[in-house]
A and B are shown apart, each in its own frame.
Chain A
Amino acid sequence: NAGVTQTPKFRILKIGQSMTLQCTQDMNHNYMYWYRQDPGMGLKLIYYSVGAGITDKGEVPNGYNVSRSTTEDFPLRLELAAPSQTSVYFCASSFHLSGSYNEQFFGPGTRLTVL
């Protein structure tokens, strides 16, 4: 199993550009999540999904969109990039809801810089 994979690993965007961060998991997990990690800060939840076709906002959803057309894929879309979105983005998945007594698996992250 590859686990959770993310692409790209690094990206530099100009203000106002758009991009999609890709996330795929091969563990047949229903639950998937997008987090951002700013320097010196704890991870913040952007969006999450409890299954194909179902998504919901997390703590910091503004400026982002997601979709979940399949169990495996959970892309994150930035429509109008802003410098405040400079961060490291992590995708994660779990079999049950992450707050439950079950392990959450993280991808390697995408480092995004908006200039």
Chain B
Amino acid sequence: KNQVEQSPQSLIILEGKNCTLQCNYTVSPFSNLRWYKQDTGRGPVSLTIMTFSENTKSNGRYTATLDADTKQSSLHITASQLSDSASYICVVSDNSGGGADGLTFGKGTHLIIQP
């Protein structure tokens, strides 16, 4: 069964500090991996999408990495801001065409930025 595991479950850091969130997956066949940011009470918003051939992708202060060999991804946040407080969700696509959306969602990492 396809699975996406995220760590840590929750994280508290001080404003201005950097942090890294982890995502491990067992999804086959692999098509792409995406990171979403979900503010409290809102829907998820896409940060990055990476395919097998993309090792790194940036979106402002967010940098995602992908190691398709070890089936791991990370999301690095630089110089955190209070507005970064949110849940960050890792989603992996198998795009197997076997029906449905081909997406497996992680449970998310709840990040709190303290002033």
A residues adjacent to B (C-beta < 8 A): 4, 33, 40-45, 48, 56-59, 90, 92, 97-109
Contacts and interface: CB of A to CB of B under 8 A. Distances in A.
5 contacts: A45-B100, A90-B44, A98-B93, A106-B44, A108-B41
Contacts of B51: 101
- Label chain B's interface by main secondary structure: loop
Contact of A108 (B32, B43, B101, B105): B43
A107 B43 contact: yes
A97 B101 contact: yes
B31 interface: yes
A45 B44 contact: no
Given A99-B95, A99-B102, 12 more contacts: A41-B107, A42-B4, A42-B106, A42-B108, A99-B32, A99-B94, A100-B93, A101-B49, A101-B51, A102-B49, A106-B43, A109-B43
Contact of A97 (B44, B102, B107): B102
A48 B32 CA distance: 20
A101 B105 contact: no
Interface of A (DSSP majority class) = loop
Contacts of B44: 43, 90, 106
B42 A109 contact: yes
B81 interface: no
A57 B101 CA distance: 10
A36 to B, nearest CB: 11
